[in-house]
Amino acid sequence: MAGFQSLSIAFLVCVIVSNHMVVDAMTSKNMALFWGNSQSKIEGDDLQLVLDQSSGSGAKSKRYFLFGSFEAQIKFVPGDSAGLPIYIDYTEFFWCLFFILKFLQLSSEGSNHDEVDFEFLGNATGEPYTIHTNIFVQGVGDREQQFRPWFDPAADFHNYTIHWNPNAVVWYIDSIPIRIFRNYENAPKQKTAFPNKQGMRLYTSLWNAQDWATQGGRVKTNWASAPFTASFRRFRPRACPWNGEVSISQCASNSPTNWWTSPIHAQLSASQSTKLREIREKYMIYDYCLDPTRRPNGVLPPEC
């Protein structure tokens, strides 16, 4: 892997929900730049975020959603990327990839927001990246799981997807599930909150997070390698647009329009479950459920 030192990129995704599925062909129809480097751009189906010593950059979806599938093809920052996260955030639901690069996040707004993170953490040259995932529900997070990628995320584009329905949130890379957060809201013993009442927007940002992103901040951003560029294409929200509280029931209803509520999406298939288990056995390097320092009283979080 070419040198990765100090670089932090964030890709945020937030979505709002309505009662119609949204499928826009072009990234330019779905996303808009909202801060940062003037070199960043959206052209047709391509999005380019740029970071230099003066500024990072970010884009966000034009709509909010509740439930559905959110995917993008992303090519990480080549070269020395330590300290850079790519972050994708869905306001009300986050899907983020931090690398020192945060690139996918769904999130809602306010102190009781929901958030789904899909992140890449960059590293010094020759060192492996870290795939970082997290989920917040009603403002409560600390549900981190981390993985080593089984591919070079800077060599080519890969597909990153967050599938979100009333039953679960599932993180995918190239159609392979790597994590699932199930809805135990009504479970008698595992009762825990689930993101199903707030619309989300998708945000993506590339920014300097050298104080924490790479090896806990020990490896700093190498500005000699700047500007850093992350490339995105084909952002696809196949989701229910958010139209206020009425969407809570509309987007969760069992109807042909709401394809995400169909039985086939209620749980992973046998082959998907096998792939999920294999990825977690081979490549997972941290799980909050297995960290004794996160449960000093010895009690596991209910979803674990």
Annotated catalytic, 92?
no
Annotated catalytic, 115?
yes
Per-residue pLDDT of the chain (304 residues; tens, 9 = 90+): 333 333 333 333 333 333 345 555 578 888 888 887 678 888 888 888 888 877 888 888 889 999 999 888 888 765 544 444 444 444 333 333 333 455 567 888 777 899 998 887 765 556 678 888 999 999 988 899 999 999 988 888 999 999 999 999 999 999 999 999 999 999 887 789 999 999 988 888 777 765 554 445 455 666 777 787 888 888 888 999 999 999 999 999 999 899 999 999 999 999 999 999 999 999 999 999 999 888 878 888 889 8
| pLDDT value at residue 211 | 56
**Among 43, 119, 127, 245, which one carries the catalytic annotation?**
119
**Among 92, 115, 185, 303, which one carries the catalytic annotation?**
115
Confidence (pTM): 0.82
Task: Please report the domains of the chain, with CATH numbers, ordered by start residue.
Answer: 11-294 (2.60.120.200)
Give the Å distances, CA to CA, from 106 to 168, 201, 232, 300: 14, 6, 16, 26
